[in-house]
Amino acid sequence: MTAPATENLAPVAPGERIEAMDVLRGFALLGILLMNIEGFVGPLLASATGIDPALTGADRAVDALVYVLVQGKFYTLFSLLFGMGFAVMSQRAEQAGRPFAGVYWRRGLVLMAIGLVHAIFVWAGDVLVTYALCSFLLLAFRPLPARFFVGLGLGSYALPVGFMFMMGALGSLLAGSADWERTMAEMGTQLQGIVESERIAYGTGTYAEATWQRVKDTGLALSNITMFGFIVFGMFLLGAWFVRSGAIARPGEFARLYRGLRWFAWPLGLAAMLGSVALAPAMDMATFNMRLSTAFALQMLANLLMCLGYVAWIMRALQSSWWRRPLGWLAQAGRMALTNYLMQSLICTWVFYGYGLGYFEQLPRAWQVPFVLAVFVVQVLASHAWLSRFRFGPMEWAWRSLTYLKPQPMRLRAV
C-alpha cells in the first residue's frame, strides 16, 4: 500500500527548532509593529512615505529615526524568515523521503485565506496574502542548488528598482508636458482622495464602513504586487539560501560572511538610507523623476543591507553569554509569530479605529514608540505563558492542522 503523502511529515517539534530563527522572528515582530503603528494611528496610505514635514520637535525626531532605522527593514526580514521556513520544510521532506508539493500548496492556500480574512476584516496593511501568492513560486526553484539562490534573489529584488529608475527617467523626460502634468495631478488627487476616505472610514466610520474601505485598500495593495512581490520573492530566495547553505544553523562556519554583514553591509545600508533622506525626506507617490527614483533606489538598497546587518548582529549576540539569555525571551514570541502578528492588528485597530476606542490620529508620533514597546512586552510575556502549556500558538495550531489535514497535538503533555 502506498503511504499517504503527509505521513512522516509534521510540524517541527519544539526540541528540533532552530533557536536563532525564532529569536529573529521575535525581533522582527517588534520591528514590524514599529513600522506599522503609523498605519494604525492614521490613514494607511499616508504612512511609510518618509518623514512627515508637518511634524516638529520630538515627533519629527522619532519619525525620522523610525524611517531610517526601521521602515522597510523588517518586512524584508520577515520575508527572509519566510524563505528560511520554506527551506526547513523542504529539507525535512527530503529527509523523510516524502512528497512535499501537496503539503506546501495547502500551507500556502491556508495562509492566503488567513491573510484575506485579516486584510478585509481587521487591517488592510496585511502582508500574508502577498507572502502566500509569492510562496507558490518557490516550488519551481526547489530543485536548484543553493548557490543559485543568492544571485536569483538579488536579481528579483533589483527588478522593482530598475522599474522605478525607468519611471523616473520617463518623468524627467516628460516634465513640463501638459499631458504628463495633468496625469500626475490626477494621480495625486486620487491618492489624496483615498487618504481622506481612510480617514473617515477608519477614524469615525462604523465597522461595516471600515470593512468596505479595507476591501478597496486590499485591492489597491494587491494591484501593486508586481512591484512588492519581486522584493518579497527575492528575500524568500535569500532566506532559503541561509538555511540550505547552513549559515543559519552553523553560523560559526560563516564567520566571515556575518562579519562582513555587520561591519560593511549595515553601515553601507545606513549611508544609503541617509542619502535617500537627503534627496527626498518625503516620498511623493504621484511624482516621478530621477531625483525621487534615486532616493527610492537608495532606500531599497538600505532596506536589504540593513536587514541582513540586523540578522548578523543578532546572530553575533546569540553567541555571547551576556546577550543570549535576554534575546532568548524573544524566541517564544517568534514561535507564535503568526498569532502575535494578527494580535497586533486586533489590538491596534481596537484602540485607534472609530468602531473601537476611537484614538485615531490622536497618539503623537513620539508616544507611538512607548505604546509599541508596551504591546510587545505584553506579547512576549503572553507567549511565554502560553507556550509553557502548549506546543503552538492558536493560529499556528490552526495553520498546521489544516496544512497536514489532521488536528495537531496541542498540549505539551500530548507530545
**What is the predicted pLDDT for the residue at 183?**
85
Q: Give the DSSP H or E segment for 117.
A: helix 101-121
Q: Where do we find the cell 523542504? A: 90
Q: Which domain holds residue 132?
A: 14-414
Return contacts of 373-378, CB within 8 angstroms, 24+ apart: 375/33, 375/344, 375/347, 375/348, 376/29, 376/30, 376/33, 376/333
Beta carbons of 131 and 75 less than 8 angstroms apart: no
291-320 per-position pLDDT tens digit: 999 999 999 999 999 999 999 999 999 998
348-375 per-position pLDDT tens digit: 999 999 999 999 999 999 999 999 999 9
**What is the predicted pLDDT for the residue at 369?**
98
The packing angle between helices 101-121 and 73-96, to 10°, is: 150
Within 142-206, residue ranges assigned H as helices are 147-174, 178-203
CA–CA dist 330, 41 (Å, integer): 25
- Type of residue numbered 75: Y
Please give the tally of structural domains in the chain. 1
- Nearest CA to 155 out of 269, 86, 87, 233 is that of 233
Tell me if residue 404 falls in helix, strand or coil: coil
CA–CA dist 306, 265 (Å, integer): 7
Beta carbons of 99 and 93 less than 8 angstroms apart: yes
Beta carbons of 33 and 86 less than 8 angstroms apart: no
Question: Is residue 158 one of the residues assigned to a domain?
Answer: yes
Question: Is residue 9 one of the residues assigned to a domain?
Answer: no
Question: Is residue 255 one of the residues assigned to a domain?
Answer: yes
Q: What is the CA radius of gyration of the chain?
A: 22
Q: Where do we find the cell 512576549? A: 380
Tell me if residue 390 falls in helix, strand or coil: strand
The vertex-143 CA angle with 137 and 146, nearest 5°, equals 95
**What is the predicted pLDDT for the residue at 187?**
86
Count of residues for the chain?
A: 415
Question: Is residue 7 one of the residues assigned to a domain?
Answer: no
Question: Is residue 6 one of the residues assigned to a domain?
Answer: no
Question: Is residue 344 one of the residues assigned to a domain?
Answer: yes
Take residue 286 and report the three cell numbers written for it.
Answer: 504621484
Take residue 72 and report the three cell numbers written for it.
Answer: 522597510
CA–CA dist 2, 374 (Å, integer): 52
Tell me the CA distances in angstroms from 234 to 46, 222, 226, 254, 261, one per residue in order.
Answer: 26, 18, 12, 21, 18
- Nearest CA to 228 out of 133, 315, 87 is that of 133
Take residue 6 and report the three cell numbers written for it.
Answer: 503527509
Question: Is residue 2 one of the residues assigned to a domain?
Answer: no
- Type of residue numbered 344: Q
Question: Is residue 117 one of the residues assigned to a domain?
Answer: yes
Take residue 147 and report the three cell numbers written for it.
Answer: 548557490
Task: Give the rounded distance of the alpha carbon of 55 from its chain centre.
Answer: 26
CA–CA dist 141, 215 (Å, integer): 32
Under-50 pLDDT residues of the chain: 1-10, 15, 414-415
